[in-house]
């Protein structure tokens, strides 16, 4: 198959996807999507109304009663920490990059600490580095990273630089196996420190492992996604991992709904 053939196949898949999205949204009353522009795999960010508390919610997630942003700030204050956040984050980076506390240190090529600035209103949390992340030392690169970028820009209308991105474990498990409970537990403190310095208003948990880890749940991502949870009092929206969406593009519709709920909260809606 030539690159041109592959591109045509991709376009055909995307056309099928957008047709099913439009039909689903039209059935639920969101006819504005018919005027949407941009990536057909992601309806335009303004195409579906933000859910309102007390309103009937379109298919998909129904937001739980939400704490105020002041509550989130109060939750962060329990972590303490003083001094310049950027300097603290850099000091933490240096500690993590020298870490040998678990066996993953012996097989990693690079520690993938995370990216972003203190004060980001949203932190995106994934599971752990894959091969490309291990090779580059950066989170969410490659195809899954490009998918994440589209989720951010085309639905949340945010650039990657505006969010904080980190994984639950900082070193790649060999062969892309799941991190063990002991590895997760050993690395846990680093993520907590990162988030306590950044102090995001909300967390977006990508995939089963990050969602189960943050929410301390044994449930699967298909059950967890789209419903607000909390991590130390900070609101968490679980949704599918971008790598999963690459394999299961039909579920982009569900992630679109999850991100719309998150977007409404970040904008101050309830």
- Our CB check for ligand SF4 shows the closer of 187 and 243 to be 187
Q: Is 105 in the site for ligand SF4 (CB under 6 A)?
A: yes
Site string for ligand SF4, 143-172 (x = CB under 6 A): --------------------------xxx-
Q: Considering the rule CB under 6 A, would residue 187 count as an interface residue with ligand SF4? A: yes
Decide whether 191 or 236 has the Cβ nearer to ligand SF4. 191
- DSSP single-letter state for residue 241: -
Rounded distance between C-alpha atoms, residue 134 and residue 108, angstroms? 7
Q: Work out which of 41, 45, 102, 234 binds ligand SF4, going by CB under 6 A.
A: 102
CB of 70 to ligand SF4, least distance (A): 33
Rounded least distance, CB 26 to ligand SF4, Å: 46
> Phi and psi for 107 in degrees, rounded to 5?
-115, -10
**Of 54, 53, 60, 63, nearest to 30 (Cα)?**
60
Q: Are 242 and 140 in contact (CB under 8 A)?
A: yes
Half-sphere exposure of 156 (CA within 13 A, CB side): 26
Question: Any contact of residue 221 with ligand SF4 (CB under 6 A)?
Answer: no
Separation of CA 168 from chain center: 12
Q: Which residue has the tokens 């041109």?
A: 4
How many angstroms separate the Cα of 157 from the Cα of each of 42, 62, 153?
A: 12, 21, 4
180 interacts with ligand SF4 by CB under 6 A = no
- Residue 168 beta carbon to ligand SF4: minimum distance, rounded to whole angstroms: 9
Residue from 72, 104, 151, 165 binding ligand SF4 (CB under 6 A): 104
The partner residues of 239 in beta bridges, in order of sequence, read 206
Instruction: Decide if 230 contacts 223 (C-beta within 8 A).
Output: no
Question: By C-beta, is 36 or 173 nearer to ligand SF4?
Answer: 173
Number of residues lying near ligand SF4 (CB under 6 A): 14
Residues forming the site for ligand SF4 (CB under 6 A): 96, 99-102, 104-105, 111, 169-171, 183, 186-187
């Amino acid at each position: 198959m030539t690159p041109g053939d592959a591109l045509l196949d991709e376009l055909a898949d995307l056309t099928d996807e957008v047709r099913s999205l439009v039909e689903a949204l039209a059935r639920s009353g969101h006819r504005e999507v018919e005027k949407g522009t941009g990536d057909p795999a992601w309806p335009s960010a303004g195409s579906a109304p933000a859910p309102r508390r007390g309103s009937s919610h379109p298919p998909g997630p129904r937001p739980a009663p939400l704490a105020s942003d002041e509550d989130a700030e109060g939750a962060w204050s329990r972590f303490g920490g003083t001094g310049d956040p950027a300097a603290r984050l850099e000091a933490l980076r240096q500690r993590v990059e020298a870490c040998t506390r678990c066996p993953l240190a012996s097989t990693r090529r690079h520690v993938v600490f995370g990216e972003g600035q203190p004060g980001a209103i949203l932190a995106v949390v994934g599971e752990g580095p894959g091969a490309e992340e291990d090779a580059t030392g950066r989170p969410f690169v490659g195809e899954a990273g490009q998918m994440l970028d589209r989720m951010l820009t085309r639905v949340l209308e945010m650039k990657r630089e505006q969010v904080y991105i980190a994984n639950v474990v900082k070193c790649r498990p060999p062969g892309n196996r799941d991190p063990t409970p002991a590895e997760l537990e050993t690395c846990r403190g680093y993520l907590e420190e990162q988030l306590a310095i950044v102090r995001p208003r909300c967390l977006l948990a990508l995939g089963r492992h990050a969602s189960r880890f943050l929410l301390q749940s044994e449930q699967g991502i298909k059950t967890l996604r789209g419903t607000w949870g909390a991590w130390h009092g900070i609101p968490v929206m679980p949704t599918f991992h971008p790598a999963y969406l690459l394999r299961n593009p039909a579920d982009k519709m569900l992630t679109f709904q999850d991100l719309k709920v998150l977007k409404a909260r970040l904008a101050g809606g309830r």
